[in-house]
Amino acid sequence: MKIAYRAALAVLLHAGGVMAASADEKLTTLADQRDVAVTIYNDDLALIKDQRKVTLDNGLNHLAWRDVSARMRPETALLRNLGEAKGFSLLEQNFDFDLLTPEKLLEKYTGKQVTVIKTNPATGVETRETATVLATSGGTVLKFADRIETGVPGRLAFAAVPDNLRDKPTLVMSVMNPKAGVQNLELSYLTGGLSWRADYVAELSDNDTRMDLNSWVTLTNQSGASFPNAKLQLVAGDVNRVREAMRPVAMTARTNKNMAAEAAPMAQENLFEYHLYTLNRPTTLAEQQTKQVALLSATRIPVTKTLELRGADYYYQGSYGDLGQKLKTSVYVEFDNKGGGLGVPLPKGVMRLYTKDSAGNAQFIGEDNIDHTAKNETVRLKMGEAFDVTADKKQTDFQKLGGTGKFNYVSESAYQITLKNVKNQSVVVNVFEPMPGDWQILSESSPHSKESASTAQWKISVPADGKAVLTYRVRVKY
């Protein structure tokens, strides 16, 4: 059935053209485009500025602007005459995004007549009958002069393409133009379907004390339109938007194999309370494509690797005994966003870390999200859980000293944390214990620091292939 639709559609388009347009429509396509600028935001939003040379008549013109995004928000569209602004005005606009397909064409002909063409397989002789399309949902129902049939008994021929059915998304505008001739027009609009994210690739070196960092901007175009040789800008920041239901779009992006041409990193500047990145050359954002361009590069960035063990506050409120065996310590990598090629705002994205093995091969060791990070701020990445450094934790004593209500009593409790290290070098483990209420450390085997009003921190050195024990006693008041 679909083959029959498409065969009929091909005949129709060859005979009558693909665009359903009134005779007086002025058509503009990418062939008229002189410049296009694309500004992409983080949250599936982009601003398009499309400049074209269009020939208009004096007075009222019906302008069909083809090759716009299928995800256009038409209420944001703004048409300007850059050369003859005085007397130029927009009266009305319609966004035709119902695209021409065999199924859509048949659907639009519900209640109308079509021609059914049958071919005798033995003689090759064609016969033609007129039928009325009664229904297309779940199958086709056709009414002939003497019968009703389901399905498509042959090829279908259609008289014309309906006015609101087009082969590409088209913005149709009624404009008043003060002067006949070629006009320099710019159409700007907001659209979905264009997105970007930052991807960071770093390699640790010098015993995990330094790293080399490269960053890419990954661009995805699922807007239903292409933007050739576009001036590309990216906005990093959380721009407030009024949320509304968007039309569902089922698309699959293809990847540009030539992901990034050699180029200098993108230039950066402040924009309101956000940051704007500008590519220093035009680039083509093809429909259904993912591509990457270089953002920044930095070498020999000082990094700090830390091992951390974090507790919980629930076991300061009662008697629990054993609190866990072979607890994992988490591995973090930190660096300051300053100097060494950094010191610029970093847009949010995913940072992936690698390190070389004994044979010199780079191996993946973890990844983490980073938020928008201003210059001189610290980036902190969780890489995973340490294999060779674990902890056993238990509560060795609990006493309720006073109080009657849930939030009106005093207690003391004691703890023992045994840190084990089977590596061939010593390590330092940062132990963090969140404590509820008003708390006071009464005794401890190693001095603590107060990381915050509710958290105590110990830095415990654990020898190579050995262990270290932290004990402490705390009084908690509610």
Cα separation, 77 vs 65, whole angstroms: 12
Furthest C-alpha separation in the chain? 105
Give CB contacts under 8 A, 24+ apart, made by 13-21. 16/160, 16/161, 18/100, 18/161, 18/166, 18/167, 19/64, 19/66, 19/161, 19/166, 19/167, 19/170, 20/100, 20/160, 20/161, 20/162, 20/163, 20/164, 20/165, 20/166, 21/64, 21/163, 21/166
pLDDT category at 15 given cuts 50, 70, 90 is very low
Comparing 3-7, 217-221, 396-400, which segment has the lowest mean pLDDT? 3-7
What was the pLDDT predicted at 10? 41
Mean pLDDT along residues 177-198 = 95
Residue bearing tokens 């080399």: 212
What was the pLDDT predicted at 166? 81
Comparing 130-139, 164-173, 309-318, 389-398, which segment has the lowest mean pLDDT? 164-173
Spatial CA neighbour of 402 closest among 391, 394, 410: 410
pLDDT category at 434 given cuts 50, 70, 90 is very high
The pLDDT of residue 247 is above 70? no
Please indicate whether residue 364 or residue 162 has the higher confidence score (pLDDT). Answer: 364
The pLDDT of residue 244 is above 70? no
Mean pLDDT along residues 70-80 = 95
Residue 102, SS3 per DSSP = helix
The pLDDT of residue 185 is above 80? yes
What was the pLDDT predicted at 191? 97
pLDDT category at 249 given cuts 50, 70, 90 is very low
Beta bridge partners of 93: 173
pLDDT category at 6 given cuts 50, 70, 90 is very low
Backbone conformation region of residue 97, classed left if phi is above 0, alpha if psi is from -120 to 50, else beta: alpha
The pLDDT of residue 199 is above 60? yes
Residue 382, SS3 per DSSP = strand
Comparing 32-41, 71-80, 152-161, 262-271, which segment has the lowest mean pLDDT? 262-271
Mean pLDDT along residues 296-322 = 93
What was the pLDDT predicted at 452? 92
pLDDT category at 5 given cuts 50, 70, 90 is very low
Domain 305-330+386-477 fold is Immunoglobulin-like (2.60.40)
Please indicate whether residue 236 or residue 253 has the higher confidence score (pLDDT). Answer: 236
- Give pLDDT tens digits for 139-153: 999 999 999 999 888
pLDDT category at 256 given cuts 50, 70, 90 is very low
- Give pLDDT tens digits for 324-380: 999 999 999 999 999 777 888 999 999 999 999 989 999 999 999 999 999 999 999
Residue bearing tokens 């973890």: 366
What was the pLDDT predicted at 253? 38
- Give pLDDT tens digits for 406-428: 667 899 999 999 999 999 999 99
> For the CA atoms of the chain, what is the radius of gyration?
34
Q: Where in the sequence of the chain do the CATH 2.60.40 domains occur?
A: 305-330+386-477
- Give pLDDT tens digits for 91-106: 999 998 777 788 888 9
Share of the chain above pLDDT 70, in %: 90
Please indicate whether residue 236 or residue 222 has the higher confidence score (pLDDT). Answer: 222
What was the pLDDT predicted at 240? 87
Mean pLDDT along residues 304-332 = 95
The pLDDT of residue 182 is above 90? yes
Mean pLDDT along residues 397-404 = 87
The pLDDT of residue 80 is above 90? yes
Cα separation, 70 vs 64, whole angstroms: 14
Mean pLDDT along residues 245-265 = 42
Mean pLDDT along residues 304-318 = 94
Mean pLDDT along residues 212-240 = 93
Tokens of 245: 């239901």
What was the pLDDT predicted at 130? 95
The pLDDT of residue 11 is above 60? no
Asked if 285 contacts 230 with a C-beta cutoff of 8 angstroms, the reply is yes
Q: What does the mean pLDDT of the chain come to?
A: 88
The pLDDT of residue 292 is above 60? yes
What was the pLDDT predicted at 203? 96
